[in-house]
């Protein structure tokens, strides 16, 4: 079940966090994987036994080259995971600048757009495309306007692509995790959310990269052949009623 044997998968942002967890999971499931990353991860790819391609997903020509090189080297593409992205604690809207927004947009939104544009050209019919969105694409967070709006855009691009590629039976879905326990989450500027995790997240902890990789594995497999155009929440119960959950836990702490 959920076998990826004889499948070829491309994972952007594959050198760390969710991307790396997904690369490892796909390899374990039998796939041939291309680890794509802006950093030089050749040594890591050699260790894992997969192919490495250096790519800046904000550059369309590099994304196009990634898929062309994969097809030329491995013969086909069955799975594409558009995962590369950044999160930058920004300013409140009254202090926001377009340059700041465009930097985040070019990577988070542009990288997915270019993946959706160029991957299908080299994919077999019946393949799967998975985009990494975020809970922040569905719920606003003050000071994160650029990040929230890019992830909201990824969700909508996913739906559009699912409709446009349906006649080729290429499924397109996205995963919307809450804060993931990765080095990015522990970066300067994110301290408050980490402090409040016991109160804000009903399950009382951050999401793990391996848990996102497990969803990606399911979406990539042929067992998931009728699911497309969907944005899957992986939020530990956040949207089920965070406000009441936080109030309840805070009240318990005072009693």
Which residues participate in catalysis according to the annotation?
147
Residue 128 forms beta bridges with which residues?
Answer: 79, 171
User: What's the CA gap between 245 and 250, in Å, rounded?
Assistant: 9
Inter-residue contact 53 to 66 (CB < 8 Å): yes
Both structure tokens of 236: 């530990």
Residue 177: C-alpha distances to residues 11, 104, 120, 158, 213 (Å)? 17, 18, 25, 15, 11
Q: Which helix (H) or strand (E) holds 158?
A: helix 145-164
Inter-residue contact 22 to 212 (CB < 8 Å): yes
**DSSP label of 94:** G
């Amino acid at each position: 079940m959920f076998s990826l044997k004889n499948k070829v998968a491309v994972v952007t942002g594959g050198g760390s966090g969710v991307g790396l967890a997904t690369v490892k999971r796909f390899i374990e499931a039998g796939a041939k994987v291309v680890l794509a990353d802006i950093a030089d991860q050749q040594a890591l790819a050699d260790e894992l036994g997969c192919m490495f391609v250096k790519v800046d997903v904000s550059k369309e020509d590099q994304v196009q080259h990634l898929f062309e090189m994969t097809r030329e080297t491995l013969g086909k593409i069955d799975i594409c995971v558009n995962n590369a992205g950044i999160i930058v604690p920004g300013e409140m809207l009254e202090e926001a600048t377009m340059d700041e927004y465009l930097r985040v947009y070019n990577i988070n939104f542009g990288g997915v757009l270019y993946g959706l544009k160029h991957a299908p050209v080299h994919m077999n019919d019946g393949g799967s495309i998975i985009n990494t969105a975020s809970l922040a694409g569905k719920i606003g967070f003050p000071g994160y306007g650029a990040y929230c709006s890019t992830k909201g855009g990824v969700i909508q691009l996913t739906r559009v692509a699912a409709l446009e590629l349906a006649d080729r039976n290429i499924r397109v879905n996205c995963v919307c995790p809450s804060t993931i326990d990765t080095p990015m989450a522990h970066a300067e500027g994110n301290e408050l959310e980490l402090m409040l995790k016991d109160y804000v997240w009903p399950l009382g902890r951050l999401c793990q990269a391996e848990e996102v990789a497990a969803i990606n594995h399911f979406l990539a497999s042929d067992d998931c052949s009728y699911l497309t155009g969907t944005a899957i929440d992986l939020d530990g119960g956040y949207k089920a009623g965070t406000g009441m959950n936080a109030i309840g836990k805070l009240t318990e702490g005072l009693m």
